[in-house]
Amino acid sequence: MKIGIVCYPTFGGSGVIATELGLALAENGHQVHFITYKQPVRLELLSHHIHFHEVSIPQYPLFQYQPYELALSSKLVTVVKEHRLDLLHVHYAIPHAYAGYMAKKMLEEIGIKIPMVTTLHGTDITLVGNHPFYKPAVTFSINKSDVVTSVSQSLKEDTLRLFDVKTEIDVVPNFIDMQKHNITYTDCQRAMMADEAEFIITHVSNLRPVKRIRDVIEVFDKIQKKIPSKLIMVGEGPEKEPAEQLVLNKGIAEKVLFLGNSDEVDKILSFTDLFILPSEKESFGLAALEAMASGVPVISTNTGGLPEVNEHGVSGYLHDIGDVEGMAAHALSILSDAKRLEQFKRQAREVASKFQTQQIVPLYEAVYQKALTMVHQ
Ligand code: GMT
């Protein structure tokens, strides 16, 4: 199959999943064409099965806002025509599903019928898409997609509650390459982060308000008061500065490392003992799954799709939003007993293995078949 993938190529769960999906589909023998404004961050190698088409927007001074959707839909038309694509798979509804639909209609005018699959990732529904400025366009583009998938049952329910959706939504969870996360660290790599006697606690996100970064620091502060530990913060975002200020005010700056964006998350996770994800909203929590695949137990909130990923008392613990006391107590209960820590690490990996790439990618292939049948019957 010749598949066009549209996604956000930056650091962020939806772009990571879209890229990993493209790579897995290429391994399964499909031709994959990424159509984005920048080469996706985890797309290191381009092979004869993987192609990248850059969407560029000519800057014109008349426009206060450059029309990205227009450039994207035109690029989609060109790529579909030139490379005879069979199907478009757009990740994140805004504005990708909208631009994809426009491309579909333009192609219809010249006799080309192409199905469009839209995958909803979370913030496109629960935060941004729900805003009255976007809602009519998001509802329209969801309803005009041939097949819609959501990354969790919880996100499906949110979508049905928040939008007047007529299209059926298939749940296809996010997935993980267990092999890639089966790495052992060298002592010198770990030693760059913490002393041998210190536990390493990690948080990875885009440091936006929805991630409740203050709670990460509060939980860590309570942990470090009881046991020697370091906190590694991975990612960039608007909450970084307030977080840096908070650790200064608490006098724990030497125990918290802000690493910025990293394409070595799997390495960092390989020597991490505990992962904290206290988000306000999380449609799935790919960062939690990545941690679990690396054998790292997760302390998270019980919001959105997180209970579908992190099993309470098995791969970690789930808490109400803002329950920093409870999160710290469970973190300490895991870390303070070597046997328990080992057990949670093993169980975290076991739970993660339910989301292996090899099990989930065929679900997308089945979705593609369904979309093709719908359009060409
Ligand atoms: O978490 C973010 O803010 C980034 C966002 C994205 O689109 O990249 O993540 C969303 O999609 C991920 C991949 O499907 C999910 O794992 C995240 O839970 C989801 N984020 C939210 O729902 C807040």
At residue 266, φ and ψ (nearest 5 deg) are -60, -35
Give the ranges where 84-129 is alpha helix by DSSP (H): 93-109, 123-126
Is 81 a residue whose pLDDT tops 90?
A: yes
Q: How many domains does the chain have?
A: 2
Work out which ligand 1 atom sits closest to the CA atom of 151: 14
255, 302, 303, 357, 361 from 38: Cα distances, Å: 35, 34, 32, 24, 24
Which SS3 state, helix, strand or coil, does residue 258 take? strand
Contact 197, 228 (CB under 8 A): yes
Instruction: Determine whether the shortest distance from the Cβ of 122 to ligand 1 is under 6 A.
Output: yes
Q: Tell me which of 116-120, 190-194, 245-249, 278-282 is least confident.
A: 190-194
Do residues 277 and 255 share a domain?
yes
Mean pLDDT, the chain, rounded, equals 94
Between the alpha carbon of residue 341 and those of residues 217, 223, 315, 317, the distances in Å are 21, 15, 10, 13
**E-state strands within 72-112:** 87-91
Is the domain of 171 the same as that of 198?
Answer: no
Instruction: Give the mean model confidence (pLDDT) for residues 96-104.
Output: 96
- Residues 64 and 171 occupy one common structural domain: yes
Domain identity same for 111 and 205: no
Whether residues 327 and 366 share a domain: the answer is: no
Report whether residue 212 contacts ligand 1, using a CB cutoff of 6 Å. Answer: no
Which token pair is 18? 């879209």
Is this structure's pTM higher than 0.85?
A: yes
Lowest mean pLDDT: which of 3-12, 17-26, 27-36, 232-241? 3-12
Question: Same structural domain for residues 139 and 234?
Answer: no
pLDDT reported for residue 267: 92
* 157, 55: one domain: yes
Whether 72 has a pLDDT exceeding 70, the answer reads yes
115 and 219 co-located in one domain: no
Residue 337 binned pLDDT confidence (cut-offs 50, 70, 90): very high
Q: Among 92, 123, 281, 360, which is best to mutate for testing ligand 1, by the most ligand atoms less than 8 A from CB?
A: 123
Q: Is the CB of 210 under 6 A from ligand 1?
A: yes
Convert the pLDDT of each residue in 160-190 to its tens digit.
Answer: 999 999 999 999 999 999 998 887 777 677 8
Q: In this predicted structure, what is the pLDDT of residue 40?
A: 83
- Residue 113: how many other CB atoms lie within 10 Å: 10
pLDDT at 42: 66
Q: Check: CB of residue 183 under 8 Å from CB of residue 213.
A: no
| Structural domain harbouring 158 | 2-175+357-376
Q: Give the percent of the chain with pLDDT over 90.
A: 84
136 has a pLDDT exceeding 80: yes
Using the atom order of ligand 1, give the atom closest to the CA of residue 119. Answer: 14
Whether the pLDDT of residue 368 is over 90: the answer is: yes
Does one domain contain both 23 and 160?
Answer: yes
Q: How far is the CA of 62 from the centre of ligand 1 (A)?
A: 34
What mean pLDDT is predicted for residues 349-358?
Answer: 97
Residues 266-307 have pLDDT tens digits of 999 999 999 999 999 999 999 999 999 999 999 999 999 999
Same domain, 361 and 351: no
Give the model's pLDDT for residue 190: 85
Q: What is the mean pLDDT of residues 146-158?
A: 97
Mean predicted confidence (pLDDT) in 331-339: 98
User: Within this chain, do residues 101 and 220 fall inside the same structural domain, yes or no?
Assistant: no
At residue 94 the predicted structure's pLDDT band, cuts being 50, 70 and 90, is: confident
CATH of residue 295's domain is 3.40.50.2000
